[in-house]
Amino acid sequence: MKPLPRVLPALITPFDRDGTVDDNAHRHNLEVLVSRGAQGFLIAGSTGQGPYLLQGQRHRLVGVGRKALGPDSFLLCGVQAESVDQAINQIEEAIDGGADALLLMTPTSLVRGNDELVALFYRTVADAVPLPVFLYSVPSTTGYELPVAVAVDLATHPDIVGMKDSGGDTERIPGLTADAQFLVLAGSSRALHQSFASGAHGAITASANYAYELVVEALQDDGAQQRLATLAGVVEGFGLAGTYAAAEEVGLITGTMRLPLTPLGGNDRDAVKALVS
């Protein structure tokens, strides 16, 4: 696996009004964030409306990114699947598009809380695909936090190389990083500094869309962490629409959101604009 950057924006996905991926807007967003220092991206993650992507759109997002950025940029592709077969179908699109690695969200619908079956899902997918796999625990979305003991056991698989931990509990980090080769990426903007101090490799956050430089600084500076926590607390308090509004205010093109998601408006939009402008 090529070197993993410290900070990867969990990139937004811009759709046209008819629901297709806006290639030009996507390319623009990648290039803007590269100009601010980004060397890698999570594409088709939760912030990228990954669970709502249609067949072929994951391939399109990754492929446009690879062509725009060339071979050196690190492209991590999000996978949100309830079964192994669904995951492999999404992964085939990611591979064909040129992804470097995969971020697999914990399955939930029929196995939520069943640690044994969740682990089986990860092992079976990792056995079947040629790319490195990162685990993804995001309890605010899935209602399930991957236990540290399960993640540590999965880390013994040669192709499971790391994890994005978005729960914000930094006391989990030392246990997850007991194996120095297992790369943990913090996903909670309020806890980046402490996560990094506890052994995390870096961060993947929605906030890196609208405050990339501050996210980088927050890893090593507590003052920056406090500013980021305040900013992200307000912006992301409005849900995904807040992130898209903030991203647009700093020069990204957000396009439309896929229903039932709707863009932020009115006084809420004004509150976000006042913070990031």
Both tokens assigned to 178: 């007991």
Q: For residues 108 and 138, give the distance between their C-alpha atoms in angstroms, rounded to a whole number.
A: 11
Residue 67 is among the residues annotated as catalytic for this protein? no
Q: Which of 2, 67, 164, 273 is catalytic?
A: 164
Q: For residues 72 and 129, give the distance between their C-alpha atoms in angstroms, rounded to a whole number.
A: 22
Q: For residues 160 and 61, give the distance between their C-alpha atoms in angstroms, rounded to a whole number.
A: 23
Instruction: Tell me the catalytic residues.
Output: 164
